[in-house]
């Protein structure tokens, strides 16, 4: 009899353990999305019975992938565990925190009296997350973006409240790290617009609606065109030109950027080869490569195939990557860059100065070119700090025997400063905007030195 009771008790304990594992996150020990659905449904029923409000906060950590890529997944897990403790400590006893996804959490606030109360708690939550965290020997500055939906104003069901809170969180992320937003109907329309735009991008790739324009890069001393940056433009037959600032982020979020970049590489290389066959002076063709493109296992193979298909010598191709690419899986990144470099392709670090690269860090990578971000160039002759920073970047680049190019050159004063600092190359509206191929050819066929303004 005792043995039977013990067997039953052990079975009950096993079932309870399985139930706990199904409803709670093993890493943070927070209730998971499965339990969130039940708890939120119950909370809505209670709020409806007592005619009260509740709020759902959807929280996503900012740039969390950088931590995983730079420090490894154990460090990322430690950050998540610390953040979960901070969230629990920041809310009221009547509220609940759930781990929703990899770097996402949901906070359920019961008995909300007015929006200002929710706003106060939201700021308290963000402050709690943003505390400096010591992980894997590093002091990390973590931030989060947060979206809020209110019952019954925004939805009367669990699915709607979660969806709207997540939509608001995405809006917060677009505005910048460490921000929060209340859901509005306009956000829903914007989310629908994003979905429609994604479908339109897919169709545009199928229908060959994208075109390339080329912005010249000039040697600042001679004024000679030495390169061109291929920039994607999109003309929709029904609505006209679409800004790259609008469609590129959607392409990246949806993964369509991989198809788009492959198309750009093929078109740009074919165009550069066509100019060679016309007998025009050889120049370097630059193509922007996103972190998503770079992570594709077949990226290097596809690159080699495109060069072989178009006949363009690898030495006339330059790939522009951002600092975020370097921060991801450093050893693998170095290996991939070395393979590309061994093919004869030049590598340029785009938007330099906006990320985290240091002199010692840059030495690890086979980079040929530093591109000074246009935000710093814009501050020349206005902000002495930008002048000092550019001087330092040029000095650092020269110490590493790198070529330096400044982008976004728009005034003669900026040009004169860059030349005085011995910056080799520049591009920007002072010389020329990005042009269709036929117009760019005209520049190549004339004296390109005429692009250099009188000084």
Domains and CATH numbers, the chain: 1-183 (3.30.70.270), 194-450 (3.20.20.450)
What's the average model confidence in pLDDT over 42-69?
A: 91
What's the average model confidence in pLDDT over 197-224?
A: 94
Residues of the chain with pLDDT > 90: what percent? 58
Span of 76-90, 300-314, 436-450 with lowest mean pLDDT: 436-450
What's the average model confidence in pLDDT over 75-81?
A: 92
What's the average model confidence in pLDDT over 397-407?
A: 91
pLDDT classification of 16: cutoffs 50, 70, 90: very low
Whether the pLDDT of residue 332 is over 60: the answer is yes
Mean pLDDT of the chain, nearest integer: 88
pLDDT tens digit string along 279-331?
Answer: 988 899 999 999 889 889 899 999 999 999 999 999 999 999 987 787 777 78
Distance (Å, whole) CA 413 – CA 378: 10
pLDDT classification of 361: cutoffs 50, 70, 90: low
Asked if residues 115 and 57 have their Cβ atoms less than 8 Å apart, the reply is no
What torsion, rounded to 10 degrees, do the Cα atoms 194, 199, 201, 203 define? -160
pLDDT classification of 215: cutoffs 50, 70, 90: very high
What's the average model confidence in pLDDT over 237-257?
A: 90
How many Cα atoms are found within 13 Å in the side-chain-facing hemisphere of 191?
16
Helices 158-175 and 33-50 cross at an angle (nearest 10°) of 110
pLDDT recorded at residue 14 = 53
Q: How many CB atoms lie within 10 A of CB 343?
A: 13
Distance (Å, whole) CA 288 – CA 294: 11
Distance (Å, whole) CA 145 – CA 316: 42
- What the block records as the tokens of 123 is 């700021």
Task: Reply yes or no: is the peptide bond before residue 152 cis, omega within 30 of 0.
Answer: yes
**Three-class secondary structure of residue 438 per DSSP:** helix
pTM confidence score: 0.70
Whether the pLDDT of residue 13 is over 60: the answer is no
Whether the pLDDT of residue 4 is over 90: the answer is no
Query: In this structure, what DSSP letter does residue 281 have?
Result: P
Whether the pLDDT of residue 15 is over 70: the answer is no
Angle formed at CA 227 by CA 381 and CA 232, multiple of 5 degrees: 90
pLDDT recorded at residue 396 = 87
Q: Exposed/middle/buried for 401, CB within 10 Å: 0-12, 13-18, 19+?
A: exposed
What's the average model confidence in pLDDT over 420-445?
A: 93
What's the average model confidence in pLDDT over 192-215?
A: 93
What's the average model confidence in pLDDT over 371-388?
A: 82
What's the average model confidence in pLDDT over 339-346?
A: 97
Whether the pLDDT of residue 346 is over 80: the answer is yes
């Amino acid at each position: 009899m005792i043995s039977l009771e013990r067997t039953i008790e052990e079975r009950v304990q096993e079932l309870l353990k399985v139930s706990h594992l199904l409803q709670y996150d093993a890493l943070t020990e927070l209730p998971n999305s499965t339990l969130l659905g039940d708890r939120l449904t119950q909370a809505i029923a209670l709020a409806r019975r007592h005619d009260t409000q509740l709020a759902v906060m959807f929280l996503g950590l900012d740039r969390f992938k950088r931590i995983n890529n730079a420090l490894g997944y154990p460090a990322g897990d430690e950050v998540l565990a610390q953040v979960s403790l901070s969230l629990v400590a920041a809310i009221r006893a009547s509220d609940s925190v759930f781990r929703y996804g990899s770097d996402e959490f949901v906070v359920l606030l019961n008995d909300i009296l007015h929006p200002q109360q929710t706003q106060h708690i939201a700021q308290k939550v963000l402050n709690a997350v943003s505390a400096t965290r010591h992980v894997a020997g590093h002091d990390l500055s973590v931030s989060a973006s947060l979206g809020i939906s209110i019952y019954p104003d925004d939805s009367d069901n669990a699915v709607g409240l979660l969806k709207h809170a997540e939509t608001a969180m995405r809006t917060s992320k677009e505005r910048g790290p460490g921000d929060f937003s209340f859901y509005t109907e306009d956000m829903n329309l914007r989310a629908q617009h994003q979905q429609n735009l994604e479908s339109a991008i897919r169709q545009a790739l199928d229908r060959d609606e994208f075109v390339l324009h080329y912005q010249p890069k000039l040697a600042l001393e001679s004024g000679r065109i030495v390169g061109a940056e291929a920039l994607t433009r999109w003309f929709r037959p029904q609505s006209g030109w679409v800004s790259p600032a609008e469609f590129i982020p959607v392409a990246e979020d949806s993964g369509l950027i991989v198809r788009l970049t492959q198309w750009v590489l093929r078109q740009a290389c074919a165009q550069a080869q066509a100019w060679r066959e016309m007998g025009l002076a050889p120049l370097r063709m630059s193509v922007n490569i996103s972190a998503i493109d770079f992570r594709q296992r077949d990226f290097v193979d596809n690159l080699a195939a495109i060069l072989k298909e178009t006949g363009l010598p690898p030495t006339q191709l330059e790939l522009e990557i951002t600092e975020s690419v370097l921060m991801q899986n450093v050893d693998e990144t170095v290996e991939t860059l070395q393979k590309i470099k061994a093919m004869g392709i030049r590598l340029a670090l785009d938007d330099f100065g906006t990320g985290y690269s240091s002199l010692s860090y840059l030495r690890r990578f086979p980079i040929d070119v530093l591109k000074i971000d246009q935000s710093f160039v814009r501050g020349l002759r206005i902000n002495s700090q930008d002048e000092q920073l550019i001087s330092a970047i040029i000095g650092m680049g020269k110490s590493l025997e790198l070529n330096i190019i400044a982008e976004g050159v728009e005034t003669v004063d900026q040009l004169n400063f860059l030349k005085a600092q011995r910056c080799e190359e520049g591009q920007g509206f002072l010389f020329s905007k990005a042009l269709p191929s036929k117009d760019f050819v005209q520049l190549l066929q004339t004296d390109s030195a005429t692009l250099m303004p009188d000084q």
